[in-house]
Amino acid sequence: MITKYALVLVICSLETNSCMPPFNYPIQFNDSYDCMMTGYKESLTKTEELGRDNINKHKIYIKFSCEPVQTI
């Protein structure tokens, strides 16, 4: 078995104390490092897309995890 890593991003709001359904990134990664680097980059991209006003108004934050996945 080979271990790959799946990136899971979640966008949440402190204002509503809720999160959107998790988004599973469409690519699996060969190691945790590549998964984490992509997680930070995607979080930054999404933060820029949402914009300062929406982030501040809704108290939005983004969290992500790199989940190990066993493949054959």
pLDDT tens digit sequence for 35-57: 999 999 999 999 999 999 999 99
Output the pTM of the full model: 0.89
CB 9, CB 25: distance < 8 Å: yes
Per-residue pLDDT, averaged over 11-40, amounts to 97
pLDDT band at residue 71 using 50, 70 and 90 as cut-offs: confident
**Which region holds residue 51: left if phi is over 0, alpha if psi is between -120 and 50, else beta?**
left
How would residue 72 be classed by pLDDT, with cut points 50, 70 and 90?
Answer: confident
